[in-house]
Structure 1
């Protein structure tokens, strides 16, 4: 049985990344203050950060996907983040039934925030 999927992002500066996720998104960090790794949590979501290491040969942050965060009030998140984060695309309603926007974190990783658009009652 699988119980969770916890993304681990390799970053050039763990402490700066922890500060960004804490100060911008309100995550809490569970780590010993070292600059090698950290675990972050918020609202039942977990994210791990790891420093670059010689085994993988990292030279820069790299990830071809995005982290999609389902939220209860996407408009409140947009209001909170629109002036303090680097925007990929602004809040918008999409034909596939989601209202969403996307930002980049301090390392350039794409974070999408989305909420289902409520179904409209027929007239």
Structure 2
């Protein structure tokens, strides 16, 4: 039995705005969008995410996630310079003792996304 890469699904009441944030700001592509289902699939290289409006099976008041999404990239400094003036920053680009160079932002729903690269 082999596990495949995890594909997070984030919930939002702002489907189109969220797809636009990930595509326009972070460079993702929208591979599938279905307004009737309230669902979209986005990807960039090997990174995939799904975005969905809550349905009747989900109790949902507002976006909430108690952790962060950590995306490893191969050129975190270039990404930082591309997005830093377009996003709400959690912390700036920094080198950490655990061997990572990383930064963190909030998306348009206030989900935290960290981007990191091995030093």
Q: TM range, normalised to the smaller chain?
A: over 0.9
- Matching residue within 52, 60, 63 for 1:61: 63
Q: Which runs of 5+ in 2 are unaligned?
A: none
State whether residues 69 and 113 of structure 2, in contact with CA within 8 Å, keep that contact through their aligned partners in structure 1: yes
Q: Which runs of 5+ in 1 are unaligned?
A: 118-123
Equivalent position of 1:121 in the other structure: none
RMSD: 1.1
Equivalent position of 1:12 in the other structure: 13
Number of aligned residue pairs: 117
| Pairing of 1:48-87 with structure 2 (within 5 A) | 48-87=50-89
SS at match of 2:98: coil
Q: 1-side partners of 2:35 and 2:16: how far apart?
A: 8
Larger radius of gyration: 1
SS at match of 2:35: coil
Superposed displacement of residue 33, structure 1: 4.3
Superposed displacement of residue 32, structure 1: 3.7
1:67-120 deviations in Å (ceiling 9; x for gaps): 111111111011011111000000111110101100000000001011111xxx
SS at match of 1:84: coil
Distance 1:2 1:62, change over 3 A: same
Q: TM-score, normalised by structure 2?
A: 0.93
